[in-house]
Structures are given as structure tokens and as C-alpha cells.
Structure 1
Amino acid sequence: KVLVDHGVFEQALYDIKSAIKMNTESTGNGFKSGYASPVSVQSMNLSIVPGEKDLDGLMEQMQNGLVITDLMGLHAGIHFVSTQFSLQASGYKVKDGKRSEPVTLITIAGTFLDLMNHVVAIGNDMDWSYKQVVCPSVLFEKCAVSGE
């Protein structure tokens, strides 16, 4: 199922209950996360189509910037209607296209939809081991960062 094609939203995922509410057909995406859990809409094998460069190639293209390796507070730091986010992050700086010193206790902020309008390149570094949703590295033109 293609959800987004070249930046254009194509379809949503539905289980039977959500499809009835939206007056459409189920996409077969109703799953239980555990025996006692209710059925909910979940994706399976969801990914972004990989690009051509590995992470080192993206850093070379970036020249100077920041690689985010970890985000904290995803359950509370995102407003799912407006797509605004403010999340604690850690990672490392990139200087002259090479990995530099680590950074911790920084905050990245913005709106997800605006961030998606500033994608420069997509990496090819995907790891499917034990995951249902996979995303390669993504190089963004800009994102608000605060902290040391």
C-alpha cells in the first residue's frame, strides 16, 4: 500500500471499525499488540523508499550540521493535529562532512509538515531487524535546534 507518493497523500490505513466510521473499506490493518489488547490500526512493513547515499554520503553533502541519533518524549512532545513538536534529542555534530563531537540535552522543534517540505535527500541505510516501521537517514535543509 502506498501511503504517500512523491509528497502527495494517497491513502490512510483502516481496520474494520475505523473504516466503518470513515465510510470506506478496511485496508486490512487491524492488529492486536497482545492477547488482551483491543484491535487497533497498525502498519506492517512500513518504510520510506531508500535513496542512493549512505549516511557518510549524506554527511558529505551536509558539510556542517547535526545528526540526530535519539529522540526522547515522542509520546508527549508531539501535537498530532498541528504536527508541532518539541523534543529532547542527542546526536553528534558534522564538520566538513565528517563526524565530530557528540551533543546531548538539545531540543529540536518545529512542525512535522514543514520539516517534510525541507527534505534534501534520503539515505539508503535501512535496518529491518525486528521492526515493523523503518526509515533511512533523512537530510533536512533546516530544523530549529536549541542547546549546546
Structure 2
Amino acid sequence: MSVGPLIASGIGVILLVATAYVLVGGTLATTEVMVEAQNSLVVQQEIRMRTAITIQDATIEGQTLYVDLKNTGSEPIVDVAAIDVYIYRDGTPHYTGDWTVVDISPDDIHPGMLDPGETLFLAVRFEGSSPGYVQVVTGNGVSSSAYVR
């Protein structure tokens, strides 16, 4: 019996094992990435479920809209700069990036963040006619809206 078929069979087995190793390794890496993404999504959804805000007051003085926004949830709003403010005039929404933080009260824990129970006082500059309605949206998509007095 010749040695050629034995060597060819050995090389074939080694190639099969190497191919299986590459496929299994790739599958495991892909599965790990998918599990990590799923876990991250679940964490973000849990944070969103614990986030709640309420507009307590919305008043106009001149060309400035003052909004008192209370964190009524159990999750701190860490990135206050990610908040979006929309004002509605004549039923049409207008995004306004021209707002500033007047104060956060009380702000004893985590200064600069909106912790549960704290109130964020916003000043929103606008031009044109007075808005009749305001909507505030947090960075994770939770919103509150109110009519302007």
C-alpha cells in the first residue's frame, strides 16, 4: 500500500479541523457581540423605564419662556445638555437649541445633574409670537409637555 493516500487523508483531516476551528471561533465571537449588544439594550430600556419628568410650570416673560422641570423618576438625568426643547406655535413644533439652565434646586447631590426630586429651571429664548405649548425631551427619549401660561 502506498503512503500517498495516507498523507492526503491526513492533510484533509487537518484542513477540516482548521476550517471547523475558524468557523466555531467566528460564531462564538459573533454570538458574544450579539449578547453584549442585547445586554446593553436591556440596560438602556431599564434606565428609560425609571426616568420620568414633569413640567411643573411654564411661563413667558418678554421673549423668554421659563420652564420648571422636575425629575419625578428614580433615575438621575446625567447629561442635562442632551435635553431638547420644542415650542409649539399655531400647532407647529419648533426645535429650539437656544435654552440655558437657570438653576437646579436643590443640587446638593451630583452637582450639575438632575437627580430624582430635583427641579431644573430652564430659560428658553424664542423669536416671533409666543408659544402656547412646550415639550421637553431627555437624552433617552422620555418627555413631558405642558401648555404655556
Scaled by the length of structure 2, the TM-score of the pair is: 0.25
Q: Which has the larger radius of gyration?
A: 2
The structure whose RCO (Cα within 8 Å, separation 6+) is larger is 2
TM-score normalised per structure 1: 0.25
More helix by share: 2
